[in-house]
Structure 1
């Protein structure tokens, strides 16, 4: 195979999920429906948390930003692939590929640490209710959000710098978006050290954020079990159950995708898991939070009533 220096590469070819025309139609319809539902669901949550005064709390501030990250992550990857299925144009420029890679990783890593922050918020609300407004002040909320984004940028920067120094022996990326493992697969550079470094980084990101989540919920469970009233215990667990489901989906899929040392062995299976993470999870999360949250459901009902009344008045 002819060696291609990274400085000569101007475009890559994203092979997508399948070459079968029939399956491409199915995949297109599936991704289009899930993308529309994801945009709609997450946009509604963002809109509700901005407009409803009852949702002006730290919990819904973090939910609003989590929905924004979910919306951004799926928008970074899915629309471009939908266009490529329709137009049959699979090429993506070198710069656009690295940009997509950067933002996909940025939004994903930010989500992990934001989930940890949301767990901490629930810990303070349940375990230290009298000090909640002091501990989770507006300033602290913004600082925690900034910390999530800063850690994400800090984590991505080494990989982003190294990606621009790699040499490639192929331009075909076996994925539907620019992800790090399939990029490493087509390099002519010896990437063993780089792969293990990324493996360790992925472990650190997931373990640190997951440890924060588990420690928060361990304290929450201890506190809740001490509550004498069964009804109050159920109410306390109910406020955390939606978040725990989202955490399970997010961490489960990403541990499967990234906690393996070899880029070669995980690319084919990862495409299916990537669809779950980037397309399906952003659809499920709004429903998980709304269907299990009385305040959000009430806010939805109020918004619908306002829209109906405004329409009737006109």
Structure 2
């Protein structure tokens, strides 16, 4: 405790210390950011412009795309700018702000995925009452709850981080990650570590359990469909969501809910890249490839843009 220093800025060591790897990872990150941002933006515009897509399922999908844009914009632009400028520092306040928004968007993403699973449960298991239950007010609540609860969880972590003292300012990551910052602490972080599990359970594990609980009756309902064609059609409405859930939760749980003894820096960075860059980039493609209505709306949108030019 006698050796602690007042930290005014942090040094983000990035994805790799090898120059050749840095160039390669910069190119990959830049490509994923552009492709993912464009894909999610086109998804939002297609849903807004096509009246046939003004249904609960696409309402949630549009919100997921908006969250994915915000999520990647929290970390990737700063990392790319640092690489181009050759400067890897970030101020203490900017670091806390980045951590705040990263946790908020990631948690909101997680809770929204559980709301989308509930929507699929109603559509398949209670189709006659679907539109009555999934009315405008309920849709708005299912989107508002993720945003409000995610910001409360993020605020708690951020306020606690302001009371932490640091032995060093060198962050072994490409952004101000909660776990990476806690590893730099000279002070007692038992409360912080406990809340990573407690609040993480609220924002990640509980939604994951809710998704699992939603898909159990869905699987039983699909299995009872008499024709193979009918089963395939019913399952196709859920397969895209299941792919996104697997990618997102698989990497998040491996980073934040494993014992610290199993953590390595490169392993955590690779897993974090998956859910901060790869998953948001793949989401619009996963949904559009499995959904003929969305593909048709995207073709109309792109065709209209070419005609306008």
Distance apart, 1:191 and its partner CA: 1.8
1:199 and 1:260 in contact (8 A); partners too: no
Say if 1:261 and 1:199 are closer, same or farther in 2 by CA, change over 3 A. Answer: farther
Partner residue of 2:20 out of 19, 22, 37: 22
Cα distance in structure 2, aligned partners of 1:305 and 1:264: 50
2:8 and 2:92 in contact (8 A); partners too: yes
The equivalent residue for 2:44 is 46
Q: How does 1:38-77 map to 2 (within 5 A)?
A: 38-77=36-75
Distance apart, 1:133 and its partner CA: 1.0
CA displacement, residues 39-92 of structure 1 (integer Å, 9 cap, x when unaligned): 110000011111111110110010001011111111110011011111111110
The equivalent residue for 1:37 is 35
Q: Secondary structure at the match of 2:10?
A: strand
Distance apart, 1:130 and its partner CA: 1.1
Q: Does residue 1:157 correspond to 2:155, yes or no?
A: yes
Q: Which runs of 4+ in 1 moved over 4 A?
A: none
Q: Does residue 1:291 correspond to 2:273, yes or no?
A: no
Distance apart, 1:151 and its partner CA: 1.5
Q: Does residue 1:278 correspond to 2:276, yes or no?
A: yes
Distance apart, 1:266 and its partner CA: 4.3
The equivalent residue for 1:90 is 88
Partner residue of 1:243 out of 210, 219, 241: 241
- Unpaired runs of 5+ residues, structure 2, are none
- Unpaired runs of 5+ residues, structure 1, are none
CA displacement, residues 141-199 of structure 1 (integer Å, 9 cap, x when unaligned): 11111111112122222211110011111111110000001101111002234313312
1:49 and 1:56 in contact (8 A); partners too: yes
Distance apart, 1:221 and its partner CA: 1.2
Cα distance in structure 1, aligned partners of 2:173 and 2:291: 36
Distance apart, 1:285 and its partner CA: 0.8
Q: Secondary structure at the match of 2:255?
A: helix
What's the TM-score, normalizing by structure 2?
0.95
Aligned length: 309
Q: Secondary structure at the match of 1:240?
A: helix
- Provide the aligned C-alpha RMSD in A: 1.7
Q: How does 1:168-247 map to 2 (within 5 A)?
A: 168-247=166-245
CA displacement, residues 13-53 of structure 1 (integer Å, 9 cap, x when unaligned): 11111121111111111111111101110000011111111
Distance apart, 1:309 and its partner CA: 3.4
Cα distance in structure 1, aligned partners of 2:286 and 2:262: 35
Cα distance in structure 2, aligned partners of 1:264 and 1:302: 49
Range that drifts further, 249-258 or 217-226:
217-226
Cα distance in structure 1, aligned partners of 2:256 and 2:303: 45
Distance apart, 1:262 and its partner CA: 2.7
